[in-house]
Chain A
């Protein structure tokens, strides 16, 4: 098995970190293990290491050969490979596909459930409600409950209108 950092030497250091229900595995050669500080358990976190490895590869794959470039800040996959950081908030959209898998291995979930800026809280509540109503509507139609469907359709109309009137994120 080759080291997943340098891809040259034989991997002799095998790491497994279990965080919650997720298992992450990394195989390194001795040299790379040393430079990544793996020998020091106090200063080492697998997530930081994985970030450097997985991210650039996944972004490359997602780009399908053509170089992806953020339209706002001009950041490219090569820059990410070098820095391990993104260029601007919009990069998350530019590289969304590639980042998805990475975020999944790195975090507890892939959707934010914490604090929301007050100005956006209203919008978020409305869009959550809209999603719920649409789900109910398809169920009502499926069950041929057209009375219920009509009520839901009106509610969806109202909610959509309210959402359109609030300032967007």
Chain B
């Protein structure tokens, strides 16, 4: 099956709605599971990996959610296909590097994605737009309960689910949310926030997960500890912390607009100026500027423009997505030209940011007249 015919078009993905999606771009709960008495993928010989894959893949396919799913082994996917899946946040970069003996099962609406023989035999994740951690947990819990009837998982009464890396042992859970935090970045409050989130035992990572930079002011917050706490306690802790981060981000935006409106308009206006007029632009710069435009849409500087336009460009301007739209192999320089062309074209109907719309009815004059 061609992954590109299967994947939901970015224009639709960008339009998906969820609670607090102004700040929380998506929610995810992942569970790590392993088959009893089988070596972990990183240590298993190829033959054993294939045996495990052939045991797990059909079992996953029987899940009711996996009707009409996309199911392939990693060696049948091209480098480009895998990169596209990474850019869609459906598989990890580590999984994209896998080949024979690893596999992927993805359901029709891209809300349930199972990586087979990544670091563990099974890495299954439930995905939801906006802030929906609890819904994601319920979904993945159900899938896991259905799977344990077909597969015998490695489990110890004391240590819980056994995983390749001791950092995942116990519940094998990682609860995470992807947050867009331009307000905290502009207000220079992001580092103290990251530090206090770290103190609560949670990790803050960049756009593509572990070890990546926070492009486009997008941060992933997730639990680190997996042993000694129930799944629901972890979900609840994340919920509490996220509610606080959302509040801080809203406050940062509010107080920036109140105290330093020119600084905010300047950033957004320049971002629009470059995006709407550039003839060559890197993926990194595009993300960072699109983030400012997204903020502009949120605060009402682009009336009539939907956030989904920016979110769609977030997806489409990434290197593999850009390459996919052209048949010949592109160099990085060529991609930068084509990216700029695409962004200019898509922003043509968008008028430049209008700060007047936001200025409260000239309060200074009102006072002097009294």
Contacts and interface: CB of A to CB of B under 8 A. Distances in A.
A132 to B, nearest CB: 15
B227 A107 contact: yes
A42 B219 contact: yes
Interface stretch (B167-175, B258-266, B300-308, B322-330): B167-175
Interface of B: 34, 36-40, 42-43, 119, 141, 144-145, 148-149, 153-162, 164-167, 169-171, 173, 191, 194-195, 198-201, 203-206, 210-214, 219, 224-231
Nearest to A72: B37
A112 B164 contact: no
Contact of B198 (A17, A73, A92): A17
Nearest to A51: B167
A41 B153 contact: no
Contacts of B160: 112, 114-116
Contacts of B43: 73, 75, 79, 83, 85-88
A169 interface: yes
Nearest to B36: A89
A51 B167 CA distance: 8
Contact of B171 (A48, A102, A112, A118): A112
A69 to B, nearest CB: 13
A99 B166 contact: yes
Given A19-B224, A43-B211, A113-B228, A120 B167 contact: no
Given A18-B199, A85-B119, A89-B38, 6 more contacts: A43-B205, A92-B162, A112-B161, A112-B228, A113-B228, A115-B231
A42 B205 contact: yes
Nearest to A73: B39
Contacts of A75: 39, 43
Contacts of A138: none
Given A41-B191, A88-B38, A111 B158 contact: yes
